[in-house]
């Protein structure tokens, strides 16, 4: 697992340890760093990573036009790359685009 530590100067560093085996303090160069639970539990902003080309819900390159036409037909206009990967603008758009194809993402929490 990855654990975060904060140096006395305020820098955040990551270290890998087995689950439950992370020490409370580590040495980073000449400084000591204390484990930072705040940094470990910081979330990614909702706008990070958008727009997103999704390989997992993509199709073969020769089917890209069909997928693009399907999105238009069902009222969820979505760009599709030449490689066949749909490009989602945000989380809501992604959910709609997946739903119209009978798909869902169990980890999306929307």
Position 48 scores a pLDDT of 65
Instruction: Classify residue 62: in a domain, yes or no.
Output: yes
Output helix, strand, coil percentages for the chain, rounded to the nearest 5: 25, 25, 50
- Residue 78, domain member (yes or no): yes
Check whether residue 26 and residue 57 sit in a common domain.
no
Both 36 and 56 in one domain: the answer is no
In this structure, are 33 and 56 located in the same domain? Answer: no
Residue 24: domain span: 2-40
Q: Quick one: pLDDT at residue 1?
A: 84
Domain count, the chain: 2
Same domain, 62 and 84: yes
pLDDT tens string 4-44:
999 988 889 999 999 989 999 999 988 899 999 988 887 65
List the beta bridge partners of residue 33. Answer: 7, 26
Region 101-110: mean pLDDT is 76
pLDDT in tens, 49-100: 789 999 989 999 999 999 999 999 999 999 999 999 999 998 899 999 999 9
């Amino acid at each position: 697992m990855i654990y975060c530590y904060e140096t006395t100067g305020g820098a955040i560093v990551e270290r890998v340890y087995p689950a439950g085996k992370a020490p409370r303090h580590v040495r980073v160069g000449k400084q000591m760093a204390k484990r930072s639970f705040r940094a470990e539990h910081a979330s990614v902003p909702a706008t990070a990573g958008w727009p997103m080309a999704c390989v997992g819900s993509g199709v073969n390159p020769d089917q890209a036009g069909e997928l693009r036409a399907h999105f238009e037909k069902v009222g969820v206009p979505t760009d599709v790359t030449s490689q066949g990967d749909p490009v989602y603008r945000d989380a809501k758009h992604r959910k709609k685009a997946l739903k119209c194809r009978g798909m869902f993402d169990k980890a999306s929490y929307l």
